[in-house]
Structure 1
Amino acid sequence: MEQDIYKIYHNNFGISFKWINPQTEKVKGKVQLIFRDMGFYLTHNEIKQFYNCVCAAKNTQPCSCCQSNIDSKNILLKTPSNKIDIAVNEKELSQVEDLIKGTLFQLDLEYYLETLCKN
């Protein structure tokens, strides 16, 4: 059975979307965030937590032997799941940051417009 999606945001690295329930044709609540070969099924608050993890990872310094290799996956990115960390390089971290920021912007804009239109 094929399911449709409601795309929230995408970049060259990944995509975020919500699944559409085929029976009701309503958009489901959690967001599917996909990049590289991984998918995360997250709430709005978990996406915010993930963004905080990205910000924390940006402030870490790689070891001296890894600093010279730009492609080295020398940054350990924590995720909202305390059982999963991801090894990324600086470029990937930047792309994950863009994906999450774009997703949060679109979700916040959607919430704002829905709230504003109800009044």
Structure 2
Amino acid sequence: MDEMKQIYYNNSGTSFFWKKENEVLTHCIQLIFRETGFYFTRQELQLFRGCIDESYQLNKCCDGCPLKNNCYKFLLKTPCSQIDLAVSMRELKAIKDLVEGTLFKINLEEYCNGIGRN
């Protein structure tokens, strides 16, 4: 796996930067969930985080339903206007963890190697 630098992973997916000629390409983040891959800039990943939060808020009305974690009725918009995903609440939570974990690790590394350095 020399051609990628992993950022974050969970049971549902992974995120990483691609490498080219031993240089880490940090301008875009590859995010893989199920069989779908997205190649987002950091700004697009932030937008995707907002889409996840919006979908979660719109679909929290099913809290009392016994199928809420397995039903594929939730529509998750993406920063790509042509692509929406149908996900269960369990998958929505996993994608949320993947995106937030990715952003956290990127920001932490940037801080530790930037202004946080003594």
Which residue pairs with 1:102 in the alignment?
101
TM alignment of 1:38-77, pairs within 5 A: 38-61=36-59, 67-70=65-68, 71-77=70-76
Q: Which runs of 4+ in 1 moved over 4 A?
A: none
Counterpart Cα distance in 1 of 2:12 and 2:72? 15
Identity over the aligned pairs, expressed in percent? 38
Asked if 1 retains the 8 angstrom alpha-carbon contact of 2:111 and 2:117, the reply is: no
Between the two proteins, the alignment pairs up a number of residues equal to 114
SS of 1:31's equivalent in the other structure is strand
The TM-score normalised by the length of structure 1 is 0.87
Equivalent residue of 2:24, what SS? coil
CA distance in 2, matches of 1:110, 1:63: 37
Which residue number in structure 1 is paired with residue 80 of structure 2? 81
Structure 1 unmatched ranges of 5 or more? none
Q: For structure 2, list consecutive stretches of 5 or more residues without a partner in the other structure.
A: none
The question of whether the paired residues in 2 share the 8 Å contact of 1:62 and 1:75 is answered with no
1:3-38 alpha-carbon deviations (Å, 9 max, x no partner): 6210000000000001110x2x11012100001110
Specify which structure has the higher proportion of strand.
Answer: 2
SS at match of 2:112: helix
Larger mean Cα displacement after TM superposition, 108-117 or 74-83: 108-117
* Cα distance in 1 between the residues matched to 2:14 and 2:110: 19
TM-score by length of structure 2 reads 0.87
